[in-house]
């Protein structure tokens, strides 16, 4: 069975693993990334970490998942708040030359989407749209096991989709951007506006909604509707076979997920009703998806 290397590069840690073509992780290790040292130092650390993996020499290729917009053609980071000293550095070329193996990279959400499309909840589906709802909201389109990155690496940045122009302006995103209205951060903000310091995180709002609190229930109902508007915008453009939904907010799927899907189905054409909603299922979608980058490219 063929094996590939998957790498998750973040502002705090680098994780690397040997992954079989069936998605099974054979060996995984991590170390601190310490990006303040500069690009060359981070790349040397990544290379050493990969070389510490049992069986790395037998792997067919290397895939990397990295936060922020990625120039997948040139193998470089376009924008990054966590890894500013690596912006513009030829990461993929460095790794490919060092290991003499094909190397690819993409945004971390996109590789997680690939993992779910190839080995997870979207397995066997031709068109998979992956959405993660957590601190923010992100997404990625996978067609025939290929991630669509777009001209500038921004494809799937659905958090900036406007769901209501009558809302407030909060940050650099659009007025009424769904990330500012239905993410975990947004639910925490809205909960604090109603309940004050009782709310420490979105989970507190969901717990109140479960207990029957009407005000918390209204926040959750609005969230479900706003997410449905976002999914409707995606669905009318992409018309996927399946929406795979992951992220920390899915811990509260019992209070919003069915409502969201019901609203969504009321917003789309009759001919689009065959779409399926599934919860993401992989424990390590980023690592597995990164390894699937070379697997799907080298076929």
Tell me how far apart the alpha carbons of residues 76 and 86 are, in angstroms, rounded to a whole number.
Answer: 8
Specify the fold of 3-114+284-297: Nucleotidyltransferase; domain 5 (3.30.420)
| One pLDDT digit (tens) per residue for the chain, 299 residues | 999 999 999 999 999 999 999 999 999 999 999 999 999 999 999 999 999 999 999 999 999 999 988 999 999 999 898 899 999 999 999 999 999 999 999 999 999 999 999 999 999 999 999 999 999 999 999 999 999 988 888 899 899 999 999 999 999 899 999 999 999 999 999 999 999 999 999 999 999 999 999 999 999 999 999 999 999 999 999 999 999 999 999 999 999 999 999 999 999 999 999 999 999 999 999 999 999 999 999 88
Q: What is the pLDDT of residue 87?
A: 96
Q: What is the pLDDT of residue 81?
A: 86
Q: What is the pLDDT of residue 180?
A: 96
Tell me how far apart the alpha carbons of residues 151 and 138 are, in angstroms, rounded to a whole number.
Answer: 18
Q: Where are the alpha helices (DSSP H) in the chain?
A: 39-51, 91-99, 108-119, 179-182, 184-195, 202-210, 214-238, 253-267, 285-297
Do 3-114+284-297 and 124-279 have matching folds?
yes
- Output the pTM of the full model: 0.94
Q: Do the beta carbons of residue 209 and residue 255 sit within 8 Å?
A: yes
Q: What is the pLDDT of residue 187?
A: 98
Domain 124-279 has CATH 3.30.420.40: yes
Q: What is the pLDDT of residue 98?
A: 98
Question: Alpha carbon of 135 to those of 95, 172, 179, 185, 207: distances in Å?
Answer: 31, 16, 9, 5, 18
Tell me how far apart the alpha carbons of residues 3 and 19 are, in angstroms, rounded to a whole number.
Answer: 6
Tell me how far apart the alpha carbons of residues 288 and 123 are, in angstroms, rounded to a whole number.
Answer: 13
Q: What is the pLDDT of residue 151?
A: 87
Q: Do the beta carbons of residue 154 and residue 137 sit within 8 Å?
A: no
- The dihedral built from the CA positions of residue 250, 251, 254 and 259, taken in this order, carries a sign that is negative
Q: What is the pLDDT of residue 152?
A: 84
Question: What residues does each domain of the chain span?
Answer: 3-114+284-297, 124-279
């Amino acid at each position: 069975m063929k094996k590939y290397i998957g790498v998750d590069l973040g502002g705090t840690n680098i994780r690397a693993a040997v992954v079989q073509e069936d998605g099974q992780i054979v060996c995984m290790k991590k170390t601190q990334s310490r990006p303040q040292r500069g690009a060359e130092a981070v790349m040397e650390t990544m290379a050493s970490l990969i070389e510490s993996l049992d069986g790395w020499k037998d792997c067919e290729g290397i895939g990397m998942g990295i936060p922020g917009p990625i120039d997948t053609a040139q193998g470089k980071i376009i924008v990054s708040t966590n890894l500013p000293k690596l912006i513009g550095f030829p990461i993929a070329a460095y790794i490919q030359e060092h290991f003499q193996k094909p190397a690819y990279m993409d945004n971390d959400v996109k590789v997680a989407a690939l993992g779910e499309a190839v080995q997870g909840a979207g397995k066997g589906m031709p068109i998979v749209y992956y959405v993660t709802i957590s601190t923010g909201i992100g997404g990625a389109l996978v067609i025939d096991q290929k991630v669509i990155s777009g001209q500038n690496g921004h494809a799937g940045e659905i958090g900036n989709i406007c769901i209501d122009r009558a809302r407030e302006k909060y940050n650099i995103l659009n007025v009424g951007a769904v990330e500012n209205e239905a993410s975990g951060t947004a639910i925490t903000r809205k909960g604090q506006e109603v309940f004050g310091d009782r709310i420490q995180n979105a989970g507190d709002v969901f717990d109140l909604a479960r207990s029957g609190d009407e005000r918390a229930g209204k926040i959750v109902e609005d969230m479900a509707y706003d997410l449905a508007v976002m999914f409707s915008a995606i669905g009318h453009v992409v018309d996927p076979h399946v929406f795979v939904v992951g992220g920390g907010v899915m811990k509260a799927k019992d209070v919003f997920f069915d409502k969201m899907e019901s609203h969504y189905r009321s917003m789309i054409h009759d001919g689009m009703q065959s779409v399926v909603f599934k919860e993401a299922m992989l424990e390590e979608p980023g690592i597995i998806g990164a390894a699937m980058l070379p697997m799907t490219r080298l076929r």
